[in-house]
Chains A and B, each alone.
Chain A
Amino acid sequence: EADIYQTPRYLVIGTGKKITLECSQTMGHDKMYWYQQDPGMELHLIHYSYGVNSTEKGDLSSESTVSRIRTEHFPLTLESARPSHTSQYLCASSGGPLGAFFGQGTRLTVV
């Protein structure tokens, strides 16, 4: 089972602030993902990476950006947070066809 960590768990922030959600994994997985999920709803892929310096946008359009400078680290940044960004953000990693392993998520509230 992958060890994957997200910080912070909860974040309440004002409109217009810049935020970075952290995600790190210790399993050496080359593939990493960010999903956005409203409470009790489906998971929507917003970003993914197949390795260092490789990032792609997912199926759901997002104003966030990501970077992959190190294998273990895949942060997500919002340059100017808005109330519409309020959601849960889930990070996952995968070593291949065995499935994706998730962190505990960051619940973001923009006021």
Chain B
Amino acid sequence: GQQLNQSPQSMFIQEGEDVSMNCTSSSIFNTWLWYKQDPGEGPVLLIALYKAGELTSNGRLTAQFGITRKDSFLNISASIPSDVGIYFCAGPASGTYKYIFGTGTRLKVLA
């Protein structure tokens, strides 16, 4: 089945640094979603992308839908301690509304 691979798996960064993470697939996705999960909570939708090449921002977050429709990246600028958590990419499996989630990037911010 379709799989989403995220890199890096974990990141330790200093407060104020910019962060970049990406998500790749061997198959095409028509929608890319980025979620953040705080410990003990459910994932929260951050950004949704619907067209190849689309670049969307949400505050300090910026995400892009790759031209090939097989990848997406998420950037966080000027990180703060509350950015700590797990970031997941997700998308609907081809021809369905079954949302598949990536392997996750675990972000830790050092004050």
- Residues of chain A whose beta carbon lies under 8 Å from any beta carbon of chain B: 31, 33, 35, 40-43, 45, 48, 50, 58-59, 90, 92, 94, 96-105, 107
Across the interface, do B41 and A33 meet the contact criterion of CB distance under 8 Å?
no
Q: Is B84 an interface residue (CB 8 A)?
A: no
In chain B between 53 and 104, which residues have their CB closer than 8 angstroms to a CB of chain A?
A: 86, 88, 90, 92, 97-104
Across the interface, do A97 and B31 meet the contact criterion of CB distance under 8 Å?
yes
Q: How many A-B residue pairs have CB under 8 A?
A: 60
Contact of B42 among A42, A48, A102 (CB under 8 A): A102
Across the interface, do A45 and B45 meet the contact criterion of CB distance under 8 Å?
no
Give the complex CA separation of A11 and B40 in angstroms: 14
Give the complex CA separation of A104 and B31 in angstroms: 24
Size of the B side of the interface (Cβ < 8 Å), in residues, is 25
Give the complex CA separation of A98 and B1 in angstroms: 22
Across the interface, do B98 and A48 meet the contact criterion of CB distance under 8 Å?
yes
Give the complex CA separation of A102 and B104 in angstroms: 16
Give the complex CA separation of A103 and B104 in angstroms: 19
Across the interface, do A97 and B50 meet the contact criterion of CB distance under 8 Å?
yes
Q: Is B110 an interface residue (CB 8 A)?
A: no
Across the interface, do A99 and B44 meet the contact criterion of CB distance under 8 Å?
no
Across the interface, do B92 and A97 meet the contact criterion of CB distance under 8 Å?
yes
> Which B residues are in CB contact (< 8 Å) with A45?
98-100
